[in-house]
Structure 1
C-alpha cells in the first residue's frame, strides 16, 4: 500500500539522520531543495531506504500548519511558506533553522471520518488539529 499514510510518526534518532543524508548524497553530491525519504527499520534493527522523492511530500502544508499553530514553532516551521518566500527572492535567515529533527516526537492521525489529531505519547495527550 502506498500513498499518504493515515498514521505518521515523527521519530528522532541520529541513525535515521545519518542514513537519510547518505542516501540523499548518493543521489546528489551537493543537495539543495526538499527531499522526502521513506524509511523502514528491518527486523535486524538496520534502517533501510525504500524511496527517495525529490519533491515535497503531500502532507507538507498540513505539517506546516501544525508546526506553527500547534507546536508554536517560529515562522520557519511553516516550510511551505518558507519555500514561497525563498521563491519570491525574500531574505530568509536559513542559519536559524536546525539541520535535523525540527519537529518533536509525535504521531499524526488523519482520516476522513475523524479529522486530524496529534498524539503526544510521552505526555499521554492528544490535540484535535482539524
Structure 2
C-alpha cells in the first residue's frame, strides 16, 4: 500500500492499495479497512510520517489480529524529531555537533557567531518529521539562511548545527527486547542526483559499501541506547565524521530499512528476512557474528 499512485504502478505486488497520507484524517479508517480485509500476519511501514502516525494506532492495529514489530512510541517520537534525539545523544555524553534550535533571527545570528566561527558555514535542517534531507542547507549567508527558513515557514522547527565532513556511515541494526540481533555498517559514496539539491543530499544513496569498525559499533550502540534503554525493532544510526575523524551521530532512522537495503541481501545478509522471522516466529538468525556478519 502507498500514497503515491506512480509508486504503486512500479510495485510488483499482486494486490496494491492506495492510502491517504498518514497525517490525513481518512488514513486511519483506510489502513484498518485494508488490514481487516487482507489479514496479513505482519504489517511494516517504511516512511517516517507513516511510522509516526501508525505507531499512534498500534493498539487498534493489533486488535485486527495483525502483528507489528516497532519500538515504543516515545522512542519513535524522539527519533523522527531530530532536535529531540540530539538532546538525548548529548545528554548521554556522545560526541555530537553543537545544535541550536532557531526560534527567531536572534537565534540565527547566534548560530553564525558560535557554530560558524571556525568554517564560516553552518548546517541548517528541519527538525520535524521528514526524510531526504528535509530543509537541509549549508550556508555562510545570514540573509540566505533567513530567506530559506522563511520559505519553509520553519521558525521554531529549523536547527542550526556545526558543519561536519562529507564522509558518512549508517549502522543498521535489528533488536528484540533489548538484545542486539544483527547489525551491519554501510559507508556512503555520494547521493543519487545530489547535484540537484542545494544541500547535495537527497536521502537516496548513490553507492553504498559494507563497512565495519569497533569504533562505529561502540558509538552506534551507545547512540541507540541513549534514546531507548530497551531497543526493539529496526534502528539505523546515521553518522558523519568530524574533522578529527570521529563519527558523530546525526539521527536515527527508526523502525525502517534504508532504501538500498537490497545490496545487503545480495551480499549475503538478508535483514528484511531476519526481521520478518524474528517478528513472526521469534526465530533468531544463525550468524557467526552479530556485528558486521
For Structure 1 versus Structure 2, the TM-score category normalised by the shorter chain is: 0.5 to 0.7
2:261: which partner in 1?
A: 60
1:23/1:49 contact within 8 Å kept: yes
* 1:38 matches 2:238: yes
1:16/1:47 contact within 8 Å kept: yes
Q: Which has the higher strand share?
A: 1
Number of equivalenced pairs: 92
Larger radius of gyration: 2
Bigger relative contact order, structure 1 or 2, given CA contacts below 8 A and separation 6+?
1
- Aligned with 2:275 (options 83, 95, 104): 83
2:205/2:260 contact within 8 Å kept: no
1:114: which partner in 2?
A: none
Note the aligned Cα RMSD (angstroms): 2.0
Runs of 4+ residues over 3 Å off in structure 1: 93-97
Q: Can you give the 5+ residue segments of structure 2 that lack an aligned partner in the other structure?
A: 1-200
Q: Tell me the CA shift for residue 97 of structure 1.
A: 5.8
2:238/2:250 contact within 8 Å kept: yes
Task: Calculate the TM-score normalised by the size of structure 2.
Answer: 0.29
1:98: which partner in 2?
A: 289
Q: Can you give the 5+ residue segments of structure 1 that lack an aligned partner in the other structure?
A: 69-76, 103-130
1:24/1:31 contact within 8 Å kept: yes
Q: Deviations over 1:27-69 (max 9, x none)?
A: 10011211111111111121101121112212223422x133x
Q: How far apart, CA to CA, are the structure 2 residues paired with 1:36 and 1:28?
A: 13
